[in-house]
Amino acid sequence: MHNVRDTMIEFVGRPSIQANTAKHYRLHLDRLLLWLDGQGVECVEDITPERLDAWQEHLRDVGKTQATRYKARTVVKVWLRWVWWKKRIPTPNPVLYVEKVKQPRRLREKATVEEIKALLAVCNTTRFTHVRDRALVLFLFATGLRARELTALNVGDYDGETVTVRHGKGDRPRRVPVSPIAAKEMRLYRLRRPPVKDGDPLFVGQTGGRLSYEGLRAILMRRSQQAGIRRILPHMIRRASATAYLAQGVDLYRVKEILGHVSVNTTLRYIGLDLEDLRRDMLNGDPLKLLE
C-alpha cells in the first residue's frame, strides 16, 4: 500500500517539475489531501471512482468555479496516472472512471498589431531604456516566447539570427528564428550595453542585473499607459505572435514548434480556435463541393 501524502510529495518534488508548475500541483493536491483525510483515506489504493466523484461534488458545493474544478481534476489525473505507473499498481486507475469536467471556454486576450505599434511608438528616443524596451517588444512579438523563457535567456543563447530556449516549459529546449527587423533592434540594444559575456543575461533591468518577470510586466504596463492603450501583458504579445504567424501563412504545426507546445490542440486553444471552428471552416471551404 502507498501513502497518499508521500506519493504527492514525491510527485511534486520531481526534478523535472518547474517551480510554478509545482506550486500549481501543490495547491490542488493539498486540497484533495485535506478532503481525503476527512474521509479517512490514507492509501492511494483506497481512492475509488466514487470517492473522486464525491470530491468533485464537494468542490462544486463549496463554490469552486468550473475552471478551478477543471484544473483540479487535471492535476489529480496526472498525479494518479504517475502513481499507478511509478508504483506499478495492478488495479485499474480510478481516475479513468470519473466524470470529466468540461473545460470552460474563455476569451483569450491578445494584443493587436495597432497596440504593438503604439508600444513601439512611445520608445522613440536613444535613451537606453527606450532602446531596450523597443528591442524587448519586437523580440517578444517575433519569437512568441513565454515571459519566463525570455527573462531566463543569456547573451550566448542568441546568435543574431536564432534564439535557443534552454529552459522551456517541461524542460523542452527549442530554437526559434528571429526576424531581421527584431534582430536589427537587438543589435542597437547590444551596442548600448557595456561588454558582455555569454553567461550574462540577455535582457537587463535598470540596475544592470537580469530582467525579472515582474520587471518585464512593469515595463509593458508602463509603456501601455504612456501609449494610452489598455494594459498589455507578455502573454498577450505571445498570442499576438502566434496569430500573426498564422495570418502570414505559416503552417499550424510550425507555429506549435515556435511556441513550444507539445500538442497542436494546445496551440488551437491558445489562439482561440478549437476543432469546432476548424470543422465549420472546413465545411464552408469543402473542396468536394466542386464535384457537385
Among all residues, which ones are annotated catalytic?
Answer: 146, 169, 235, 238, 261, 270
Other C-beta atoms closer than 10 Å to the C-beta of 96 total 11
C-alpha dihedral sign at 263, 259, 210, 163: positive
Give the whole-angstrom CA distance, residue 287 versus residue 186.
Answer: 44
**What dihedral do alpha carbons 135, 138, 139, 140 form, nearest 10°?**
130
Provide long-range contacts, Cβ within 8 A and 24+ apart, for 51-59. 51/94, 52/76, 52/94, 52/95, 52/98, 53/98, 53/99, 56/98, 56/99, 56/101, 59/31
Give the whole-angstrom CA distance, residue 242 versus residue 244.
Answer: 5
Give the whole-angstrom CA distance, residue 211 versus residue 208.
Answer: 8
Question: Which residue type does 210 have?
Answer: R
| Cα dist from 91 to 55, 85, 86, whole Å | 21, 11, 13
18-57 CB burial, b ≥16 within 10 A, e <16:
eeeeeebbbebbebbbebbeeeebeebbebeeebbeebbe
> Do residues 132 and 203 touch, judged by C-beta distance below 8 A?
yes
